[in-house]
Amino acid sequence: MPKKTKQDSENTRQVLLDAAAALFIHQGIAKTTLSDIAAQAGLTRGAVYWHFSNKEDIIRLLWERNAGELHHTFLEQLSEIRSSNHPDLAFRDAITGLMRRVANQPAAGLAIRIMMHCVEFTGEQADLRRFLRSRRNELQGAIHRALMYLEQQHLLRAQLSLKLQAQCLMSYLFGLVHQHLEPGHHPLHLARDGEAMLELLLDSILPVEPSQHPDSTGR
């Protein structure tokens, strides 16, 4: 009877989360059972219950593992545009960077989908719902604050209220990611086209000519 080390245990945990992620992506979250996850991981339901307290728990931990860093990086990038010489470019970079990572890392993409689909799979009052709502509000808030700064710098083109502009961006991002992640045939190749698609909206919001500073080599 070989004792499992703390390492082994942590490893099992990750294996389970990987299994859950893979299944969530391919067959949806609602349709994935704990048995499915255990089987996919080559383990039994009991193991799932050792590591997690229930399905919601798995979803939340999965979100944190897969998107937590990405999320906070993005929030930071947005707040740092204040210290950039070209805050508009920095903003563009933050957004397109987020999209690029989501497009390239299925795990990160899943996190977005979790956020969108939580509508469907949680009860009215669920903790998970609150958790995800918080994260989304953080995103929204960070974008909003960034836009406020850009406006102070006279770097916004559109007349729309900042709050709405922030929501436009969020909605567009979510819409693009959602189309991209649809299981089955992917109608959208985000990794390749995402940036150009994003610019379609960004060009309505931000200056097309890069901001005034001395050199404007273009983007």
Please give the residue ranges that form the binding site for DNA (CB under 7 A).
1-6, 8-9, 12-13, 33-35, 38, 43-47, 49-51, 53-55
CA 55 – CA 185 distance, rounded (Å): 27
- Residue 15 one-letter amino acid: V
Smallest distance, a second copy to C-beta of residue 208, A = 10
Smallest distance, DNA to C-beta of residue 59, A = 11
Residue 192 or 213 having the CB closest to a second copy: 192
Of 38-46, 63-71, 75-83, 198-206, which segment contacts a second copy by CB under 8 A?
198-206
- End-to-end CA separation in angstroms for the chain: 61
**DSSP string spanning 103-138?**
HH-HHHHHHHHHHHHHHHHS-TT-HHHHHHHHHHHH
Residue 135 CB partners (closer than 8 Å, separation 6+)? 63, 71, 115
Residue 1 or 200 having the CB closest to DNA: 1
Residues written for the chain: 219
CA 32 – CA 25 distance, rounded (Å): 10
Print the binding letters for residues 114-153 with a second copy: x by CB under 8 A, - otherwise: --xx-xxxxxx----x---x------x-------------
31 binds a second copy (CB under 8 A): yes
CA 39 – CA 16 distance, rounded (Å): 9
Of these partners, a second copy, DNA, none, which one is at the site of residue 162 (CB under 5 to 8 Å by kind)? none
Residues making contact with a second copy (CB under 8 A)? 26-31, 113, 116-117, 119-124, 129, 133, 140, 158, 160, 164-165, 167-168, 170-176, 178-179, 181-184, 187-188, 193, 196-197, 200-201, 203-205
